[in-house]
């Protein structure tokens, strides 16, 4: 069974885009692929009730239909840091439960892509972060770097945190968020030299990014 954990240098850097692209790329080699959003903070109204836009995107990119309680076990109404959103909802995020849900998904699919919430060390509870969840899952990590001013520091610190958890940085993706960023190619060159992990994709800036085009860059 193939599985990856997708994280980012920050929130809003394109983790869902990359996770969906990774699912699409994996589907070229595996018949059953499924995405998972363990913790989603911020829901939207849909015809079937309140749901997470990220979780819905992952479901649409999956080839296996699974219960919502497995692919998005924690869905919190407010778009806040998960530990705050959970507190306001009267919940406590249980990492062991999230790991159990991922294990159940692994029994139903040949490949699983898990998308973290926010950045790698986003708080999930007063005593735990997204890094603790990634460590408990023990999956290779794909890092999405939002290419904008400050990304070098954010990328290097995140890679350091990933490795400090004993995890493998399987690769990284450069997502060109800011079309006005100065010297973007030079920044990418620097990260290629420093991250010690393969650059899996270089995503051009787009007002309407398409995960199918991103998937074409992925191995």
User: Which amino acids are annotated catalytic?
Assistant: 37
Nearest to 11, CA basis, from 126, 121, 128: 121
CA dist., res. 92 & res. 126, Å (int): 9
CA dist., res. 195 & res. 198, Å (int): 8
Give the residue ranges of DSSP H helices in 76-194: 82-88, 95-108, 130-137, 151-164, 184-194
Distance spanning both ends of the chain, measured CA to CA: 17
Cβ(134)–Cβ(7) below 8 Å:
yes
CA dist., res. 133 & res. 125, Å (int): 11
Q: What six digits make up the tokens of 123?
A: 């708080």
Q: What are the distances in angstroms from CA 119 to CA 2, 13, 81, 195?
A: 23, 9, 10, 17
SS3 219: coil
């Amino acid at each position: 069974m193939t599985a990856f954990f997708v994280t980012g240098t920050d929130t809003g850097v394109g983790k869902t885009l990359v996770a969906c692209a990774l699912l699409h790329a994996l589907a070229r080699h595996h018949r059953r692929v499924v995405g998972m959003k363990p913790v989603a903070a911020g829901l939207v109204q849909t015809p079937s009730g309140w749901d997470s836009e990220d979780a819905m995107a992952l479901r649409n990119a999956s080839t296996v239909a699974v219960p919502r309680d497995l692919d998005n076990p924690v869905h919190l109404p407010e778009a806040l840091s998960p530990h705050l959103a959970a507190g306001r909802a009267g919940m406590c995020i249980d990492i062991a439960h999230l790991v159990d849900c991922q294990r159940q998904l692994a029994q139903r699919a040949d490949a699983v892509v898990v998308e973290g919430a926010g950045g790698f060390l986003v708080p999930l509870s007063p005593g735990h972060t997204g890094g603790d969840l990634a460590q408990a899952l023990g999956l290779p990590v794909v890092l999405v770097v939002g290419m904008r001013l400050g990304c070098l520091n954010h990328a290097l610190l995140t890679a350091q945190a990933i490795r400090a958890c004993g995890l493998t940085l399987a690769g990284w993706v450069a997502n060109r968020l800011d079309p006005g960023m100065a010297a973007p190619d030079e920044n990418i060159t620097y990260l290629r030299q420093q991250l010690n992990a393969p650059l899996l994709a270089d995503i051009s800036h787009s007002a309407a990014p398409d995960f199918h085009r991103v998937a074409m860059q992925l191995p």
